[in-house]
């Protein structure tokens, strides 16, 4: 049935036109529509169907069916002769039936006969030598039938279409790969961002822990140093303390004996007065040293005390009484006590914490102001927030206020030990201290103490 | 060692501390305020030798010393003469240990550095008083024992006479 290609010159020109037109289409559906319309137009067919092999099922599937007026035919399945298509598919050869009614030996049940087809033509679509589909055209026009040169032309046409389909498919693939790539890049970027965030927070945490570690380490070594110093100072202090007292007693005895002997008093009495006065100064000086040693001892935790159950509100109240001389008339103390359970703790030590923070608050308030103490029980911990309306803490100092020896107060006012001692005590109770401050507005110290 | 020349009946207080300045302070105060005979040592072994051959009524010992600590030293003193009143002088760091050991060694009191002179005087006076009472008690017990022995002898003689 198929003939040797025998293309005329005008047909070649047309094919060139066709090639130009369909190669400009990279979108596959558009390309298929255009191809079909061109084929129908050029061969004066009534309708045309283009079938392509489905890559997964291996079946030839109808991709587009067009009518002469370039409209799509909806249910085209019934309009293609499966017999014809199968023949082309299995033989790999084009098929032309110029005059269907006159063809011999046709099954009268064949769809071609039923649909009164006059002439039908079907050529394979190839890509790289492989059959990837076919173009099917037919007509019921009694006056018209497809000719052998139509077949040759359509085969040439199909060759071009095959290449164009292949190109469009490749293009689609490239596009898809591109799209995938893009979304892959997007995904990766997001992943990298998430990883980065994770790392950042891990780093922050590490830095935090390191700070804390450093702080505890500093405290521990300072504690040992302080314990040693307290011990060393004690012996000479004991001697001076005793001697000062003995001195005063000696002065008393001397004065008595001068009187008893009825000696001339003047110069001797004056000398004794000088000794006595100096001795009194020594007493005060020794008292001061003793107090410092006591503070240091406390810091180094040399004096163990009872671990017992207490109501922290009592401790806060006691401390407020003790600091009253600092705040009298000037500072309004507001208590907002919530419901809190008893806590098993070193009560004296915690009182010292309250004391240190309250003294700082009082010192931070110049003139009139307020201190608020708020307590609550949250997430298994007792929370004590002590706020003041004082001068606040500069941002650059916030990290250092818990360092031993850090003070912004004048010599003789601040030792810089209060907060570091407090930090240590709270830490030993398994809790923590947080601070929040705004320059010129005030400061809040919040103590968290877990209840076991 | 240093000592006051004193009559035999004078009560004697021994102070032991590896720090000379503590010894001087305690000695000066006690000599000013009391009539006791004060002996002082910086070396615990020398102090022990002294106790072995001389009458001592009360010993005050520092806790932290080289060679042996105050508790060990006082335990040895007790071996030599259990009648001697023993007092320990402790720094802060050793307070806990000292208090725990009071019963083991049978201490009369502990004093804490820096000590108060009045406290020191009271502790020494009471310690010596206790020592005197104990000695008296012992003497009385001895007398009773002797009287009892005499009585028993008499009893035996009476029995023999009537046998
Ligand atoms: N409530 C507060 N308001 C403002 N500054 C404060 C407050 N509490 C602490 N500070 C700052 O923290 C420093 C350290 O406090 P602290 O350890 O108690 O030592 P000190 O009070 O002896 O200086 C203070 O010198 C001060 O600068
Ligand atoms: Mg302070």
Cβ–ligand 1 distance for A414 under 6 Å, the answer yes
pLDDT digits (tens, 9 = 90+) for A379-391: 999 999 999 999 9
Structure tokens at A298: 């406390």
Tell me the DSSP string of A345-408. E-HHHHHHHHHHHHHHHHHH--SSEEEEEEEEEETTEEEEEEEE-S----HHHHTTTTSTT---
| Residue A150 CB neighbours (<10 A) | 22
Q: How large is the angle between the packed helices A9-23 and A148-261, nearest 10 degrees?
A: 20
- Asked if residues A391 and A366 have their Cβ atoms less than 8 Å apart, the reply is yes
Predicted confidence band at A443 (pLDDT cuts at 50, 70, 90)? very high
Residues A189 and A197: their CA atoms lie apart, in Å, by 12
Which residues does chain B have within 8 Å of residue A248's beta carbon, measured at their own beta carbons?
A: none
Q: Does B50 touch chain A (CB under 8 A)?
A: no
pLDDT at A255: 86
For residue A269, what are the contacts with CB-CB under 8 A and spacing of at least 6? Answer: A255, A258
Query: For residue A446, is pLDDT > 70?
Result: yes
Ligand nearest to the CA of A413: 1
- Asked if residues A290 and A241 have their Cβ atoms less than 8 Å apart, the reply is yes
Helical ranges in A56-147 per DSSP H: 82-91, 111-114
Residues A118 and A138: their CA atoms lie apart, in Å, by 8
Residues A86 and A114: their CA atoms lie apart, in Å, by 18
pLDDT at B8: 42
Give the chain B residue whose CA is nearest to the CA of A300.
Answer: B93
Instruction: Quote the ipTM score.
Output: 0.75
Under the phi-then-psi rule, with left for phi > 0, alpha for psi from -120 to 50, and beta for the rest, what region is A92?
left
Q: Does B114 touch chain A (CB under 8 A)?
A: yes
Predicted confidence band at A1 (pLDDT cuts at 50, 70, 90)? very low
Q: Does B22 touch chain A (CB under 8 A)?
A: yes
Most confident of A140-149, A245-254, A299-308: A245-254
For residue B111, what are the contacts with CB-CB under 8 A and spacing of at least 6? Answer: B60, B87, B88, B89, B90, B119, B120, B123
Of residues A224 and B126, more confidently modeled = B126
Nearest to B32 among A231, A239, A250 (CB): A250
Min CA distance, A194 vs chain B (Å)? Answer: 54
Contact call for A302 and B93, based on CB within 8 A:
yes
Contact call for A239 and B92, based on CB within 8 A:
no
pLDDT digits (tens, 9 = 90+) for A328-365: 789 999 999 999 999 999 887 888 899 889 989 999 99
Nearest CA to ligand 1 atom 18: A418
Residues B39 and A285: their CA atoms lie apart, in Å, by 30
Ligand nearest to the CA of A401: 1
Residues A371 and A355: their CA atoms lie apart, in Å, by 13
Residues A259 and A444: their CA atoms lie apart, in Å, by 64
Task: Give which of A260, A252, A292, A304 is closest to A276, Cα–Cα.
Answer: A252
Which residues does chain A have within 8 Å of residue B25's beta carbon, measured at their own beta carbons?
A: 238-239, 242-243, 246
Secondary structure class of A337 (helix, strand, coil): coil
pLDDT digits (tens, 9 = 90+) for B44-66: 999 999 999 999 999 999 988 88
Give the chain A residue whose CA is nearest to the CA of B17.
Answer: A235
Structure tokens at A332: 């309004």
Q: Does B32 touch chain A (CB under 8 A)?
A: yes
| Residue A341 CB neighbours (<10 A) | 11
What is the pLDDT averaged over residues A99-106? 82
Structure tokens at A435: 């601070």
Min CA distance, A236 vs chain B (Å)? Answer: 7
For residue A434, what are the contacts with CB-CB under 8 A and spacing of at least 6? Answer: A445, A446, A448
Range in A164-173, A208-217, A408-417, B148-157 the model is least confident about: A208-217
Contact call for B32 and A230, based on CB within 8 A:
no
Ligand nearest to the CA of A417: 1
**Domains, chain B:** 2-131 (3.40.50.2300)
Which residues does chain A have within 8 Å of residue B19's beta carbon, measured at their own beta carbons?
A: 235, 239
Residues A407 and A400: their CA atoms lie apart, in Å, by 9
- Asked if residues A76 and A55 have their Cβ atoms less than 8 Å apart, the reply is no
Ligand 1 atom nearest to CA at A420? 17
Task: Give which of A372, A197, A413, A235 is closest to B25, Cα–Cα.
Answer: A235
Predicted confidence band at A76 (pLDDT cuts at 50, 70, 90)? low
Nearest CA to ligand 1 atom 27: A408
Structure tokens at B7: 């009559």
- Stretch 212-231 of chain A: residues touching chain B, C-beta under 8 Å: 227, 230-231
Cβ–ligand 1 distance for A315 under 6 Å, the answer no
């Amino acid at each position: 049935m198929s003939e040797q290609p025998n293309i005329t010159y005008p047909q070649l020109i047309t094919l060139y036109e066709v090639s130009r037109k369909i190669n400009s289409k990279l979108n596959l559906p558009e390309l298929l529509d255009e191809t079909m319309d061109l084929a129908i137009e050029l061969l004066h067919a009534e309708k045309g169907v283009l079938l392509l092999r489905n890559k997964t099922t291996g079946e030839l599937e109808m991709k587009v069916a067009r009518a002469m007026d370039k409209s799509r035919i909806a249910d085209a399945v019934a309009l293609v002769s499966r017999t014809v298509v199968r023949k082309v598919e299995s033989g790999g050869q084009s098929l032309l039936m110029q005059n269907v009614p006159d063809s011999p030996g046709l099954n009268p049940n064949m769809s071609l006969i039923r649909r009164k087809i006059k002439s039908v033509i079907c050529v394979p679509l190839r890509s790289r030598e492989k059959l990837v589909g076919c173009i099917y055209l037919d007509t019921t026009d009694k006056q018209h039938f497809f000719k052998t040169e139509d077949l040759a032309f359509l085969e040439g046409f199909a060759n071009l279409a095959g290449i164009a389909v292949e190109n469009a498919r490749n293009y689609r693939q490239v596009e898809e790969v591109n799209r995938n790539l893009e979304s892959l890049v997007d995904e990766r970027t997001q992943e990298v961002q998430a990883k980065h965030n994770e790392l950042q927070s891990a780093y922050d945490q590490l830095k935090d822990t390191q700070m804390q570690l450093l702080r505890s380490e500093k405290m521990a070594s300072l504690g040992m140093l302080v314990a040693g110093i307290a011990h060393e100072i004690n012996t000479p202090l004991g001697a001076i303390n005793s001697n000062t007292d003995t001195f005063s007693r000696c002065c008393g005895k001397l004065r008595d004996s001068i009187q008893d002997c009825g000696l001339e008093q003047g110069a001797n009495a004056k000398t004794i007065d000088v000794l006595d006065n100096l001795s009194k100064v020594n007493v005060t000086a020794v008292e001061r040293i003793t107090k410092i040693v006591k503070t240091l001892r406390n810091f180094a935790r040399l004096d163990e005390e009872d671990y017992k159950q207490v109501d922290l509100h009592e401790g806060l109240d006691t401390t407020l009484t003790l600091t009253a001389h600092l705040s009298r008339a000037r500072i309004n103390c507001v208590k907002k006590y919530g419901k809190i359970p008893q806590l098993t703790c070193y009560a004296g030590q915690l009182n010292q914490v309250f004391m240190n923070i309250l003294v700082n608050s009082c010192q931070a308030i110049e003139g009139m102001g307020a201190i608020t103490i708020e307590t609550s029980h949250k997430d298994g911990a007792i929370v004590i927030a002590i706020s003041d309306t004082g001068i606040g803490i500069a941002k650059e100092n916030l990290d250092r206020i818990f360092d031993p020896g850090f003070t912004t107060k004048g010599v003789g006012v601040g030792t810089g030990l209060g907060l570091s001692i407090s930090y240590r005590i709270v830490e030993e109770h398994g809790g923590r201290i947080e601070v929040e401050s705004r320059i010129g507005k005030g400061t809040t110290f919040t103590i968290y103490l877990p209840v076991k | 060692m240093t000592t006051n020349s004193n009559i035999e009946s004078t009560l004697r207080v021994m102070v032991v501390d590896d720090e000379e300045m503590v010894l001087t302070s305690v000695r000066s105060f006690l000599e000013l305020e009391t009539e006791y005979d004060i002996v002082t040592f910086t070396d615990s072994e020398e102090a022990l030798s002294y106790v072995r051959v001389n009458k001592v009524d009360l010993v005050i010992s520092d806790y932290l010393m080289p060679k042996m600590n105050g508790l060990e030293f006082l335990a040895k003193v007790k071996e030599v003469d259990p009648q001697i009143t023993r007092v320990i002088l402790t720094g802060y760091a050793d307070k806990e240990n000292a208090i725990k050991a009071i019963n083991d060694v049978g201490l009369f009191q502990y004093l804490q550095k820096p000590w108060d002179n009045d406290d020191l005087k009271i502790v020494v006076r009471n310690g010596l008083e206790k020592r005197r009472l104990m000695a008296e008690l012992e003497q009385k017990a001895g007398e009773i024992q002797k009287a009892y022995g005499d009585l028993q002898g008499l009893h035996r003689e009476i029995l023999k006479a009537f046998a």
